[in-house]
């Protein structure tokens, strides 16, 4: 929504749903931007979407990507940052969303079972996300 509001283009992801805990990779400029935070260059975040940024708004910069999504994070100057994933979500929230998507027939039962089985394997990097988001919002980057 943020990308579209700023003049970018979005749409349904060609690769389909992205649900689960996903590893995202910070760009070299983001690694420099966030260097004072001492966070890893790869962060895990909870994802639950089927849309993607297809074209960034003018003057926006990609600051993170994943194997499935080319624009996981972007920044627009030093005052706006878009995050595709949900650093605010817990695994309980994601489990509820998976069940809801299955009940509404947006995803198959077998896919929901696979997603749930994989949830225990990786934890989202909550502390790093909290540090990153708080620092950005307070203008400390």
Domains of the chain: 1-88 (3.40.50.880)
**Could you tell me which residues come within 8 angstroms of residue 37 by beta carbon, excluding any fewer than 6 positions away?**
128, 131, 132, 135, 141
For residue 35, the model assigns a pLDDT of: 87
pLDDT class of 1 with cuts at 50, 70, 90? confident
pTM of the model: 0.89
Q: How far apart are CA 45 and CA 22, in angstroms?
A: 5
List pLDDT tens digits, range 26-83: 999 898 888 889 999 999 999 999 999 999 999 999 999 999 999 999 999 888 999 9
pLDDT class of 19 with cuts at 50, 70, 90? very high
Residue 85 in tokens: 């994933």
């Amino acid at each position: 929504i943020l990308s579209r509001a700023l003049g970018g283009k979005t749409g349904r992801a060609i690769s389909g749903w992205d649900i689960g805990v996903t590893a995202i990779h910070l760009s070299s400029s983001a690694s420099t931007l966030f260097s004072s935070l001492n966070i890893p260059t790869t962060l895990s975040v909870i994802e639950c979407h089927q849309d993607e940024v297809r074209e960034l708004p003018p003057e926006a910069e990609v600051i993170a990507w994943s194997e499935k999504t080319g624009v996981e994070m972007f920044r627009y100057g030093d005052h706006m940052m878009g995050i595709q994933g949900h650093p605010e979500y817990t695994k309980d929230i994601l489990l509820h969303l998976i069940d809801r998507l299955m009940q509404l027939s947006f995803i198959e039962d077998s896919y929901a079972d696979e997603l749930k089985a994989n949830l225990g394997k990786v934890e989202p990097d909550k502390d790093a996300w909290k540090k990153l988001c708080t620092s950005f919002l307070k203008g400390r980057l």
